Amino acid sequence: MVTHRRDFQALEQRRKQAARLFANGETVLASVARQLKVSRQSVCRWYHEWKEGGAKALKAAGRAGRRPRLSAAQLRKVERALRQGPAAHGFSGELWTLPRVAKTIEQVTGAKFHSGHVWKILGSLNWTVQKPTEQAKERNEDKIQYWKDVRWPELKKTLHGKKPGSSSRMNQVSPKSPRSAPPGHPKARPRS
């Protein structure tokens, strides 16, 4: 997920520039909008705020959006806990799953998250999906290759014992039943 951070200082500088233009007598809001490369609606809003409260009214409002539920310190605690591994937190096996991570976050911080939201938290920690390197001890490469080369193609050709043919769900035409029309384009019939 790519997130673009807004440059709040640059946005405030643009509003201050608009305030200077208003103070210098520029009242054609469309002209101000073109100079600052912003929408007329924004300039109109800024103009009304500037008229009521001066340049101070156009200062930055601070951060945008909802505050994160986990602080930077809590995120560091979560990452330390994840690095200890699942076994250190009472899970069997050495594989993190989203529900396990969600439960660990709740144990460490007290904040409860849906396992689907855990992706965002892991992404903010720069954790990525990993494929386990270990394979089953019972794995037999010869049997796997036989399945891929011989068994699967056989099954694929005669799925459910049917002959290859149309993928339509309709029944096949019986050889004894007469066709309703000759093949080709239907001819226009006069209406009766």
What is the per-residue pLDDT across 58-99, written as a single tens digit (0 to 9) for each?
A: 777 666 677 788 888 999 999 999 999 999 999 988 888 899
Domain of 111, in residue numbers: 72-124
Q: Burial, 45: exposed, middle or buried (Cβ in 10 Å; 0-12, 13-18, 19+)?
A: middle
Q: What is the pTM of this model?
A: 0.43
User: Residue 190: is its pLDDT beyond 70?
Assistant: no
Angle (CA) 66-102-123 rounded to 5° is 60
- Asked if the structure places residue 78 within a domain, the reply is yes
Q: Which two tokens stand for residue 129?
A: 């999906």
Residue 112 maps to a domain: yes
CB 26 within 8 A of CB 46: no
Q: Does 14 map to a domain?
A: yes
Please give the tally of structural domains in the chain. 2
Residue 131 lies in a domain: no
Domain assignment present for 52? yes
- In tens, the pLDDT along 13-48 reads 888 888 888 888 887 888 889 988 989 998 888 888
Amino acid at 112: K
In a domain, residue 136? The reply is: no
Residue 97 lies in a domain: yes
- Give domain status of residue 180, yes or no: no
